[in-house]
Amino acid sequence: MYYFRFDGNILDFTKGPAVDRIMKMADNCFVRERKDRISIFDLKLTMTCPGTYMEDKLLDFYMVLNKKKHNLSCFNCWFGLEWKGKICSVNSFLLPRHFHHKKINFFSLIAVLNTYGYIQLPVPDPLTWGYINFRY
């Protein structure tokens, strides 16, 4: 059984028959691949990071921009560019503002998931452990 969750800015789904199609369609987003599921995030969200400035260390997610995959490091973060990591904190990775106008078409991705028989589950309540696992 395959499922997905969507809260407006995050699409989280289990790996299954639609993965190749979804990954070809995904554009202007962050992608985090895990063992059993994939999460797609809007570019305007802050993402998880270690909280210490490491210019060359790659993060555990990547960005798809204009159909090209870009591996990210602390150097790409707004805080890293502006202050060279002096204001870093845990979970504070944020792209510079000029990326925020780029939108991902979540509704097309959801339509593909529905076509492949994925079941939509409700998003957990904020401030619960389930939501923390969903978001991070």
Can you give the pLDDT at residue 132? Answer: 77
Can you give the pLDDT at residue 103? Answer: 86
Whose CA is closest to 113, among 35, 41, 14, 44?
14
Q: Which residue has the tokens 């560019």?
A: 81
H-only helix segments in 44-99: 78-83
Largest CA distance in the chain: 47
d(CA 26, CA 38): 12
Q: What is the pLDDT along the chain (136 residues), one digit of tens a residue?
A: 899 999 989 999 999 999 999 999 999 999 999 999 999 999 888 888 777 777 677 888 899 988 899 898 877 777 777 767 677 777 777 777 767 778 899 999 999 999 999 999 998 888 888 887 777 7
